[in-house]
Structure 1
Amino acid sequence: MSTLRVTAERLTVLDHPNADALELAQVGLYRAVVAKGAYRTGEYALYIPEQAVLPAALVEELGLTGRLAGSGANRVKAVRLRGELSQGIVCLPRAVAGTDLAEAAAQGRDFAEQLGITKWQPPIPTAMNGEVESAPELLPWVDIENLQRFPDIFEPGEQVVLTEKLHGSCCLLTYHADTGQVQVSSKGIGAQHLALKADDRNLYWRAVRAHGVPAVAERLARQLGAERVGVFGEVFGAGVQDLTYGSSGRTELPGYAVFDVSALIDGQLRWLSAAELLGGQLPLVPELWRGPFDPAVVLDRAEGRETVSGRSLHLREGVVIRPLVERHSTVLGGRAIAKVVSGAYLTRKGGTEYE
């Protein structure tokens, strides 16, 4: 999941091709359906992203009672309105009346706390939970921001690689070279500097043991001269999420694919290519394309059918974009990496969103 920020944004207003009373307000590469005439190109408004949970008073003020997602009908989710994908909410709540939104946009001001908006946290199924222990030196995964919100992360023509984003659950493994200790965690639990105690009933431990990930991490630490190695993979299949990639979940070998590797070398954390380091040793997420960065190409490749099973069994969740040469992003203030999620995935019925 990406971080939650409610920000002031300069709008580009476009015609809605299928509705005379509606328009499309574009923020970055996102588009939100708005009432015709509500905004003009160049004006500023607040943008509330997907996965935001709104307080009841704000839901009522915006005229969205009964129209949002979740058991409380208060969570922002992508929808199709008259055939057009609408992601997020563009609005001008009373709470920001008199605020210079152009200045707020320039400052990058976050209005979430002022408006009482919080980030939705998915539930944790029993098989993904377990007894935990402190893990202050666990190598954590990072929140990947959406390219549609931050379209300037990559330079036009910069060489990038697109890998398929899998709909599973993020599994973190850290190998400590000095002690040989292996720590396993999920994204959400790992973010709290906690690891899951070894347990064969736990999904993540079953996956890393079944695929021999600790032994590969140990070899990698020796090869790199690393103090710690992090192997980041997606666990998937029946019983994990609603998209299964043909993995039944009835075998002892859970679906598993590595998407990233990090290593602490001479006190410096480095992000490394999983494909270059682990090819033939562990299953990897599929590479879909590489070449010069073009937003249109990325958005196109985010759609379509999954390639993990080799049988195109269901829709594709999306893509992850990385530069061929790992680098820092001044736009993000951290690692240059982004995602794009397919419209079909966002608007499917009966989907699950466990971390």
Structure 2
Amino acid sequence: MSTLKVTAERLTVHTHPNADALELAQVGLYRAVVAKGQYRDGDWAVYIPEQSVLPDPLVDELGLTGKLAGSAHNRVKAIRLRGELSQGIVCRPRALDGVDLAAAHAEGRDFAAELGIVKWAPPIPVHMSGDVESAADLLPWIDIENIKRYPGIFAAGEPVVATEKIHGTACLYTRTADGEFVSSKGFGAKNLALKRDEKNLYWRAVLGHRVPEAAAKLAAIFGAERVGIFGEVYGQGVQDLAYGAKATAELPGYAVFDVSFSDATGAVRWVDAEDLAGVLAGLSVRLPTVPRLYAGPYDEAALVALADGRETVSGTAAHLREGVVVRPARERRSDVTGSRAIGKLVSDAYLTRKGGTEYE
């Protein structure tokens, strides 16, 4: 998931091709459907992203009572309106009357707390949960921002690698000199690890795919005090897209998407995207990896198109693709996000599918 920030943005307004009374307000590469004439090109407004949960008074003020997602009809989700994808909400809440939105944008001001907006936390199914323990040495995963929200993460022509984004649940494995930790993205963000349980989904994936053996070999290669292996666990029983695997009755599907390590100083480094598959292929323990779909110069339009299509994980193109994750060929930081240069592009068909699940 992405981080939650509710920000002031300058709009580019487009004609809605299928509705005379509607227009499209663009923020980054996102477009949100708005009433015609509500905004003009260059106007400033507040952008509320997907996965935001709004307080009831704000839902009512925006005229969205009963129109949002979730059991309480208060969660922002991508939808199609008259054939056009609408992602997020563009608005000017009364609570911000008098606020200079251009200045707020320049300051990077986040209005989420001020407006009572929180990030949606998906429920954790029982079979994906378990008893937890403190894990200060766990190497955590990060929130990946959507390139459509932050199109400046990559420069045109920059060498990048794009891999398929698998719809599963992130599994964090850390090997230290004294032991090992297994966690989910949600627990890992709280420095918590799942106690060893061979019936637990994450532990079954880690042990079944021999991740500890691979981590030991990587520690020796890098001379590392800690090694983090980050993989996606997937299959029937995990999410609605299963890729032909049966996670509850058999060995769960598993694919590595990143590796990090740290030395005695504690500084964390990441294996470069262009080297990751080769590093893992050189181990005697062969870990599955996420499919690489593209390696070459950054081309925004081509990568947006690549996010759509059929999945390549199962080998049978069983269902639609969730999207792609893009990294620079050589690891670097991004001034746009203030963290790693990494971004995702999500398939429009995935966002608007029926009956989808979104567990972390």
Query: Taking structure 1 as the reference length, what is the TM-score of the superposition?
Result: 0.98
- 1:168 equivalent in alignment to 2:168: yes
Question: What residue is the counterpart of 2:278 in the other structure?
Answer: 276
- 1:325 equivalent in alignment to 2:330: yes
For the Cα contact (< 8 Å) 2:237–2:248, is it kept in 1? no
1:139, 1:310 → 2: CA distance? 31
Give CA deviations for 1:305-351 in whole Å, capped at 9, x if unaligned: 10001111101000000000111111111110000111111111110
Shift of 1:266: 4.1
Residues 102 and 196 (structure 1 numbering): CA distance in 2 closer, same or farther, change over 3 Å?
Answer: same
Q: Match of 2:153, SS?
A: coil
Question: What residue is the counterpart of 1:159 in the other structure?
Answer: 159
Shift of 1:182: 1.3
2:209, 2:297 → 1: CA distance? 34
Shift of 1:298: 1.1
For the Cα contact (< 8 Å) 1:210–1:252, is it kept in 2? no
Shift of 1:110: 0.4
After TM superposition, the runs of 4+ consecutive aligned structure 1 residues lying more than 4 A away are: none
Give CA deviations for 1:1-58 in whole Å, capped at 9, x if unaligned: 1100000000000011111111000000000000000001111000000000000000
2:166 aligned partner, one-letter code: L
Identical pairs, percent = 67
Question: What residue is the counterpart of 2:253 in the other structure?
Answer: 255
**1:336 aligns with one of 333, 341, 348:** 341
2:85, 2:353 → 1: CA distance? 12
Question: What residue is the counterpart of 2:198 in the other structure?
Answer: 200
1:196 aligned partner, one-letter code: L
Shift of 1:277: 1.5
**2:222 aligns with one of 221, 224, 232:** 224
Question: What residue is the counterpart of 1:100 in the other structure?
Answer: 100
Q: Match of 1:297, SS?
A: helix
For the Cα contact (< 8 Å) 1:157–1:294, is it kept in 2? yes
For the Cα contact (< 8 Å) 1:25–1:90, is it kept in 2? yes
1:182, 1:250 → 2: CA distance? 24
Question: What residue is the counterpart of 1:304 in the other structure?
Answer: 309
2:297, 2:114 → 1: CA distance? 41
For the Cα contact (< 8 Å) 1:227–1:265, is it kept in 2? yes
Give CA deviations for 1:248-282 in whole Å, capped at 9, x if unaligned: 23553110000000000242210114312212620
For the Cα contact (< 8 Å) 1:128–1:202, is it kept in 2? yes
Please list every run of 5 or more consecutive structure 2 residues that lacks an aligned counterpart in the other structure: none
Give CA deviations for 1:99-119 in whole Å, capped at 9, x if unaligned: 100000111100011100000
Question: What residue is the counterpart of 1:132 in the other structure?
Answer: 132
Question: What residue is the counterpart of 1:353 in the other structure?
Answer: 358
Q: Match of 2:151, SS?
A: coil
Question: What residue is the counterpart of 2:79 in the other structure?
Answer: 79
Shift of 1:287: 0.4
Give CA deviations for 1:112-164 in whole Å, capped at 9, x if unaligned: 11100000000001111000000011000010000011000111110111100
Q: Match of 2:175, SS?
A: strand
Please list every run of 5 or more consecutive structure 1 residues that lacks an aligned counterpart in the other structure: none
RMSD: 0.9
2:146 aligned partner, one-letter code: N
- 1:291 equivalent in alignment to 2:296: yes
Residues 61 and 255 (structure 1 numbering): CA distance in 2 closer, same or farther, change over 3 Å?
Answer: same
Question: What residue is the counterpart of 2:210 in the other structure?
Answer: 212
